[in-house]
Structure 1
Amino acid sequence: MLLTGLQIGESPRWHDGRLWLANWGAGEILAVGPDGSSEVMLRIDAFPCCFDWLPDGRLLVVDGSGRRLLRQEAGGELTTVADLSGIAAAPWNEIVVDALGNAYVNSIGFDFPGGEFAPGVVALVAPDGTARQVADGVAFPNGMAISPDGGTLVVAESYASRLTAFDIAPGGDLVNRRPWAVLEDAAPDGICFQEHRIWYGDVPARRCVRVDPAGNVDRVVELDQGCFACAVGDGVLYMLTATWGPDVATARTGRVVTATL
């Protein structure tokens, strides 16, 4: 147990020797040290609020309910990079940035948890701020990750029990859609690569699972809470867990749990 008292921890990233995460209910982005000490790096009135970095080190933040992509400038202020409301009206969720500065952002497609299901989309926001849809028909797009070689984008389809892969074409388009791994009776949430394999968090099953591209499971970490997301850093698996329920964003049941790889 590394950290407790979070209001849904999400979007974990290993960066500059610390684990960064979004504390959704509190509207914070935190950096957590190996000893469990945490520092608030950004406060933002947004829910959800996922993030990643541009190649030049500036932080990109998804204002999910505001349907905007924001960038933190050198002075700390946030500016709007792209208005995403014209692509999808539903809340926006996860983000991942490639080595060229292309930001991939997904919208789940419907108001969750109370809305009627509709498939979601993935959009590309180019470095110049132009945004366009690059994938649709995704069954609750959740976690996303880019392969270590930079050529493949993988999206967790929580309502389809699979990880779906796309090749990243020149210009940033997503092509050659295919299953990366079919997951039996799973609801994959946040994901991360560990070399050629992928870890995924599963909230209903209360576990974090590692699979290969054929869907073969080679490690399972059983947990006492739902696992919303995960990240790998410095030989450690970091798992963000919480007790799912209507008050999950205020109950402060969120934790960071670690396992040695």
Structure 2
Amino acid sequence: MTASQTSGSSVTIDTVVADRAFLECPRWRDGRVWVSDLYRHEVISIGTTGDVRVEATLDGDEPSGLGWLPDGRLLIVSMERGLLLRREDDGTLVTHADLSSTATGKLNDMVVAEDGTAYIGSFGFDFRGSSSIEPANLLCVAADGTFGIATGGLRFPNGMVITPGGVLVVAESMGNKLTGFDIEPSGELTNRRTWAAFGPELPTDSVKAAMSAAAVAPDGICLDTDGAVWVADALHRSVIRVEEGGAITDTVEFPTAVFACMLGGEDGHTLYACAAPSSSEKARRNTRDASLLATQVTRAHGGRP
């Protein structure tokens, strides 16, 4: 299949894996692309030859953000139970941190710093039943499992990246923007600012009202070597490349909705996108029409994850 770019030229889109429920949080590591399938309750990895390996199964819960400790053990966000899980060397899953007391709603995406510090977002409200958008906490979990609230007042914090210069950039899906923080040596977040705004502040009386007014709904994100952020726009079937300050330099349009992205591949130039007809939990839970797509771009992967 093909997708279009803003320049008018088409790009080739490859299907990496299909017949999935709903994919999120793609990561590139050790020659494989890793991804969470929320409603099959699995973390899978796919090799360059297309082989699929189930890396972990979360009985009764949905995996989301993925990352690794410095010693190579996998961290998995367990969304509904409010846990950060750790996969031990023998494959067993144990609780790295129980965040249920500090999370605001379901846990969401995650980025793990080089020292093993994990930053994890939460919804802030009941996405399916709430009448208004409520502010959410961003949590910080040290490598030893101790945790606290890094900051609050975010509107549905979602994908995150850490730049080589130590800046955390957070996608606020209900905020029409990317928000930046400086990461102090202690892991504390300081100097909060708008990293890139896509438009004015959104209404908070309902998700429908916010999404109707949003120019972009930034979902999963990744970073390239030039310091720009690639953003999966959950509203417009596209992944956009955004520079600090808000300039959009590239747009890749897909034939279906995309909800997360990651740069990877052996040379870092493969743009992976988690695709599905919609993000509706009711629709996706019992269907198998989600996929992981890939295309080639000119900038390579940078930063974390």
Shorter-chain TM-score tier: over 0.9
The correspondence of residues 154-169 of structure 1 with structure 2, limited to 5 A, is 154-169=169-184
The Cα RMSD (Å) is 1.3
Is 1:66 aligned with 2:96?
no
How far apart are the structure 2 equivalents of 1:197 and 1:214? Answer: 10
Aligned to 1:108: 123
Task: Say whether 1:207 aligns with 2:238.
Answer: yes
- SS of the aligned residue for 2:39 comes to helix
Alignment equivalent of 1:144, drawn from 160, 180, 191: 160
Give the stretch that moved more between structures: 225-234 or 111-120: 111-120
**Among residues 186, 190, 210, which one is paired with 2:220 in the alignment?**
190
1:128 to 144, 149, 158: 144
Q: Which amino acid aligns with 2:157?
A: P
Please report how far the alpha carbon of residue 6 of structure 1 lies from its aligned counterpart in structure 2 after TM superposition. Answer: 1.4
| Structure-1 residue corresponding to 2:261 | 230
* CA displacement, residues 151-183 of structure 1 (integer Å, 9 cap, x when unaligned): 011110011110101000121011100111112
Q: For the residues of structure 2 that align with 1:128 and 1:33, how far apart are their CA atoms? A: 31
- Mapped to 1, the partners of 2:150 and 2:188 lie a distance apart of 6
Structure exhibiting the larger radius of gyration computed from Cα positions: 2
One-letter code aligned to 2:41:
G
Number of corresponding residues: 260
Query: Which structure has the higher relative contact order (CA within 8 Å, separation 6+)?
Result: 2
- In the TM superposition, what is the alpha-carbon distance from 1:215 to its structure 2 partner? 1.1
**Counterparts of 1:43 and 1:81, CA distance in 2:** 16
Distance 2:175 2:168 in 1: 17
155-164 or 43-52, larger mean C-alpha shift: 43-52
Q: 1:182 to 1:89 in 2, by over 3 A?
A: closer
Q: Contact between 1:227 and 1:242, CA under 8 Å: does it hold in 2?
A: yes
For 1:49, what is the secondary structure of its paired residue? strand
Give the aligned residue type for 2:28: W
Instruction: Give the percent of matched residue pairs that are identical in Structure 1 and Structure 2.
Output: 40
**Deviation for aligned residue 1:243:** 0.9
Give the residue type in structure 2 aligned to 1:213: E
